[in-house]
Amino acid sequence: MATPLRRPLALAAAVATVAALGAGALALPAVAAEQAAPPMPLKDGTLDWGIKQSFRDYLAMPFAHGKTTLSGGAKQAANHGVFTFVEGTGTYDMGSHATANSFKGGIRFEAHEGALDIRISDVKLSTQGTAAPTGAITADVVTKEKDGSVSTRNDIDLAVLDMSAVRPGQGAGGAMVFKDIPAKLTKAGSDAFAGFYKEGVALDPATLTVTAGGGKPTPTPTPTPTPTPTPTKTTTPPPSPKPTPTATKTTTPTKPTAQPTGQPTKAPAGVFDGRLSWGVKASWRTYVAETCGGTVAPGGGAKAGGGAYTFPYRTADVAAGARKADAAFGGTLKFSCAAHGIDWTIGDVKVKANGTKGTLVADVTTAKGTTNDVVFADLDLTKADWTAKNGVVTLSALPAKLTTAGAATFAGPGGQAFYKPGTAIDPVTVSFTVDKNAGLPAAAPGAEGQAGGAGTVGGTGSGAELASTGADTPAGPLLAAAALAAAAGAGVIIAVRRRGERIGA
């Protein structure tokens, strides 16, 4: 198979390539040389191809637990970039202008604790020359099937190439460069990806770079499929941070060692009771509980209600006149979705306020372990009312934005953040009783959406909430992730929430 070139342009490129072999090669008339010359050897070739960007982005999401492993000299650009297959060799047919190239390097994609496992190796690119403006990328593909078996597909056409608008360019050292060749997924390629992407879907464009080889031209023997290489290099930095031992965590003198599930501890500094109302982030809840089909479960005294979750009072020191507060609350929220590997818990929440600024601090547990006292969000207290009403001080609906540390708790295996620092999250409401006879008011709304029953929160179920938060929600990778989970045997089927728009294709 070979890269389709229009005859005049291909011939010009061929003549330029022959020139690299030596002036003597140009002694024959150009047409005669084209007709009589044997295939020209090619060397030092590279194929730059990312396969599909949305697939690479998906592997970096935290719920995927994805990993990309390179072998055989293959490379990947920074930030989950394109792959480079190396040490390409092949031939250029002087008569038909067809090319055939083989490359070294392999890639292994893994996700969902082994449910997804795809290996690609023995990559080749060929073009048809003047016969037709098409070409193909072929490879050996080994996949893990839904039933746990392993399937090996040798020399399958992964992608069909459109060479009609591709023009050869000049590269370093006289190399020919065929840049940004459009590529589409074949039927065999779709099968190799378990039908996650459909036949005809646009893939990343490919760039082929080849250099004329020296010596006597000889035909390239048919490559023998090589065994799938054993991965030797991981592109995503795994080492999981070691959880901070809970036993060594610094606590205030009045803070109990275990989270209370009954009556809250009373602080001596003029505060008799309190409560924190917060929903973390509505789009996150909706994704976990509705889109992914998981759960959001309160524990340790936390409860769903009032448009958010309420966290029970533990201790506080409040000076309303000075606009200062240092308060701690019990309870946890556990976000779970086994299909996407989500296991994310937040608890031991504290609010620290000083004037017009404040912070929300919490312990966060992810697949990487537990990080204590994360400065999770910055709070804006510019409009906070510190006046006690009926013996209760309520700092209502404090705007909150993720800090760098808070955003990092949502990061994927490769460090790619699910949410960016500065992203607005659900507002925070805190109430304190400063009169021993006062009671806390009903829980005030403090989230973007509504809390649901049975330990889950996810809005109205219409999907409007997710769509409305699209500015800070990576909807494409999320929906692509859900579809891939289903294709990998996770049994989750996701509906695209934006009418008329196919995301992640």
CA–CA distance, 233 with 229 (Å, rounded to integer): 11
Q: Which residue, 231, 225, 230, is CA-closest to 102?
A: 225
Higher pLDDT, 17 or 391: 391
Indicate whether 456 pLDDT > 80: no
- Give residue 35's pLDDT: 45
Q: What is the spatial distance between Cα 483 and Cα 199, in angstroms, rounded to a whole number? A: 15
Half-sphere exposure of 100 (CA within 13 A, CB side): 14
* Rg (the chain; Cα; Å): 30
User: Which tokens is 272 given?
Assistant: 């008799």
What number is the average pLDDT over the span 368-384? 94
212, 17 Cβ separation under 8 angstroms? yes
How far apart (Å, rounded) are the C-alpha atoms in residues 197 and 206? 18
- pLDDT at position 446 is 40
Is residue 331 left, alpha or beta, with left meaning phi > 0 and alpha meaning psi from -120 to 50?
Answer: left
Select the more confidently predicted residue: 437 or 119.
119
pLDDT of 270: 78
pLDDT higher than threshold 90 for residue 132: no
In the predicted structure, residue 245 carries a pLDDT above the cut 70: no
Segment holding 36, helix H or strand E: helix 30-36
Token look-up 């030797």 returns 232
Q: What is the 3-state secondary structure (H, E, C) of 397-449?
A: EEEEEECHHHHHCCCCCCCCCCCCCCCEEEEEEEEEECCCCCCCCCCCCCCCC
Average the pLDDT over 21-38 and give the result: 38
* pLDDT at residue 306, rounded to an integer: 65
464 pLDDT higher than 90: no
pLDDT of 119 above 90: yes
Residues 6+ positions from 412 with CB-CB distance below 8 Å:
59, 60, 61, 62, 64, 66, 418
Interior angle at CA 473, CA 366 and CA 492, nearest 5 = 70
Cβ atoms of 466 and 493 within 8 Å: the answer is no
Higher pLDDT, 1 or 464: 1
Backbone conformation region of residue 292, classed left if phi is above 0, alpha if psi is from -120 to 50, else beta: alpha
What is the pLDDT of the chain when averaged over all its residues?
Answer: 73
Q: What does the pLDDT read at residue 400?
A: 97
Mean pLDDT, range 213-239, rounded to an integer: 46
The whole-number pLDDT of residue 369 equals 86
Is the pLDDT reported for residue 313 higher than 60? yes
Rounded Cα distance between 41 and 101, Å, is 10
Amino acid at 342: I
Q: Per-residue confidence at 289, pLDDT binned at 50, 70, 90? A: confident
pLDDT tens column, 408-440 = 888 655 555 678 899 999 999 999 998 888 888
Query: Is 183 or 471 the better-scoring residue by pLDDT?
Result: 183
CA distances, 333 to each of 141, 297, 440 (Å): 41, 6, 22
CB atoms within 10 A of CB 203: 23
| Mean pLDDT score, 270-289 | 89
- pLDDT band, very low/low/confident/very high, at 356 (cuts 50, 70, 90): very high
Q: Which of 196-210, 221-235, 284-298, 443-457 has the highest mean pLDDT?
A: 196-210
CB 103 within 8 A of CB 43: no
- Between 436 and 497, where is the model more confident? 436
Angle at 288 between CA 285 and CA 291, to 5 degrees: 110
Side chain identity at residue 329, one-letter code: F
Q: CB of 143 within 8 A of CB of 149?
A: no
Q: Note the pLDDT tens digit of each residue in 151-180.
A: 899 999 999 999 888 887 888 877 889 899
Q: How far is CA 451 from CA 278, 280, 494, in A?
A: 10, 11, 22
Cβ atoms 448, 279 nearer than 8 A: yes
Q: What is the pLDDT of residue 443?
A: 64
Alpha-carbon distance 82 to 365, whole Å? 32
Q: Domain residue spans in the chain?
A: 7-234, 259-473
**Which range, of 17-26, 223-232, 383-392, 441-450, averages the lowest pLDDT?**
17-26
Confidence label for 239 from pLDDT (cuts 50, 70 and 90): very low
Q: What is the pLDDT of residue 352?
A: 96
Q: In 10 A of CB 179, how many CB atoms?
A: 15
Q: Residue by residue, what is the 3-state secondary structure of 178-195?
A: EEEEEEEECHHHHHHCCC
Residue 79 pLDDT more than 60?
yes
The whole-number pLDDT of residue 274 equals 93
- What's the confidence (pLDDT) of residue 412? 56
